[in-house]
Amino acid sequence: MKKADMIKKIQEKDAKLYLQTKQYESLFGRDSHLATAYRNEWMAIYELMKELDIKSDYSLPEWDKAMEIINEMRIIERLEEEDFAKRDIGYSL
């Protein structure tokens, strides 16, 4: 296997694990066992990439999907922080 092929495989694993981490964080929460397990696995790859001076390949589709999940989670967090009683005009209990 050529060096370029090895780097590409590592980058693909990095993107896949990051996406899985974000998927489980979205479904079960950041502190869930599954999210934590995938985050730890991703961090191991991340540390290896740092040591080998390999950059993440953000052009991979998994990165786009992960960013979509992050944006969705941010929107949900913002909505949960809002006071819906003040926002809904004409609504009374």
pTM flag (> 0.85): no
Q: Is residue 91 part of a domain?
A: no
| DSSP for residue 83 | -
Start-to-end Cα distance in the chain: 67
Q: Is residue 57 part of a domain?
A: yes
Range of the domain at 25: 3-82
Instruction: Give residue-wise pLDDT tens across range 43-67.
Output: 999 999 999 999 999 999 999 999 9
Q: Is residue 37 part of a domain?
A: yes
Tokens 């944006």 correspond to what residue? 71
Domain count, the chain: 1
Host H or E run for residue 7: helix 3-28
C-beta of residue 6 within 8 angstroms of C-beta of residue 13: no
Q: What are φ and ψ of residue 45, in 5° steps? A: -65, -40
Q: What is the pLDDT along the chain (93 residues), one digit of tens a residue?
A: 899 999 999 999 999 999 999 999 999 999 999 999 999 999 999 999 999 999 999 999 999 999 999 999 998 888 877 766 566 665 555
